[in-house]
Structure 1
């Protein structure tokens, strides 16, 4: 008999009774979208929770990236990472921007600041780093480089909900940051996302762009799109915001148990918590040295699947290997040795608030 499946994540769900109560309010109001009361309340409460000045909600996590590039009028070339989900680079391509891939730091899997300057050309207009696994990028170094060359910085912070460095939100770094509220994320609104900006004027421009460009009932100020979050998802998010801290605390305990049991296993490595960082434990990646561990990453991955344990190889294959991008000079594997190496070693273990002690034991028994 096959044991029940253990998935890499599980969606955070509010009480069905509480959600039904919110739905009744929406039904009675007959306002389903277009900046209703739940939408306004979620923006306000998220801004307070995340310690950011302004936030604009979106219907998914990709459209904030696309819109940020539009709002800042980014063109030409943008330096970014190959070690991410494809939405990062796709957002550039959709805006007619050439992605320039730069290798990553093996200690974090984030964009390596030491490799950025060599990739800058007269066509470079911005840097788009990713806080991979929710681990903060070296934002100070990246900003110094951006300031030196007059570049904008847009952070893909899809993994970094609630992450702080020295008590300050990582979302304040750069010119803008984007979030994903997909069902697989630490905090979700079923599908959803957000864009973090610094000032009210930019917030207003973003709000115009995500609503067809309307500034008023009769005035369209830009060729916008429709990427608003509806009231149902906003209501769902408000309820999840009340329980997300408990979910993060549960994830932290799982990370502690993994580290206790996996520390010292030959050929297996993982990341430690970074000092002075409030982590959200969105992922728990392990890296397999096949010569020492005794099997390849893929052999372990498929062994796990045979036992109904569904890890994920985030992020394999690299974005730079996909057909759209592999012809770029910066996409050549010899230009991305660390990213290639890490992509070939990684498995993200299941980690979420609903994981049981028995689940954890099953996973560790198979791996350790």
Structure 2
């Protein structure tokens, strides 16, 4: 049975120094809200989808050094409820002790955002603060990470422990800055440490900053500037699927937009290894343009499912499909790489392709499931970070 905190527990203010993976920390009525885009970027776009996505703390974690055997975190999450669909599970908090999984928890209470996919309507209903607790931790100095739910906007209200805490020390690991769509954000992953970028980062031994923004990888200039201004040792950009989903631009605009996005990132990272990743296989949009629309018949039956609402004949007018985008990205990177030896390209189908789709089909026609996230994370770690990959760790032995 849950009880209140013991009177001898220590309450530690939650500051930016205790967090990793966030680019901004907003003070709220209840506490602080981590953001994955800076305030200047948020001020340049009033899109509700972007606001929801960037405030969901995928890859954001508290990183502490402490002897504490018990930790309590008060939070105010925002849950999503979709009309006609079963309730989504509560978001998970993953606990790591010295880098190893050591527990999970959730906060059942919180605000609720009611969404009707058929009409696009949104309704916000307020709810109470809740607490996630981790007890029985080893009584020794240790690094603790609490990964926040990747799919719930999470205000951090209070941090309590039974021993003092401070920021986890910098272990000298390289920083990987990644940008992508809801697939990179972690849609349908099992937990925050098992999104494919989090799994790849763990296998590669790097620190992740995940700017995977559900529905919002749209070549926005403010996102490019956020990437430009964020220190990183390696950078990857996964481009394509959201441009088709939103039916946002035509081929004439796409090429220059990619060049402009890369130019901006390069303004801040002129020689950082930069990997452009094209879309994974998505059969409904390989040769059929967007927009992507909810399958209303499936929704009526209580199943989330999407369909391609464009017409393949519209490709002649410049509408984008995944096949068109892959060809154009490969061409752009090849051309730029002649003058930029640190720019690389990866066909997304190397992460999830035809054979994978036959074995592990996309459950809603758009998003990978937990098993596919694991496969993609393992493959990205091998293709990008292993010896011979564009992000392979430099060999320091030659200088020793």
TM-score using structure 2 length: 0.23
Choose between structure 1 and 2: higher strand proportion. 2
Instruction: Choose between structure 1 and 2 for higher RCO, CA contacts under 8 A separated by at least 6 residues.
Output: 1
Choose between structure 1 and 2: higher helix proportion. 1
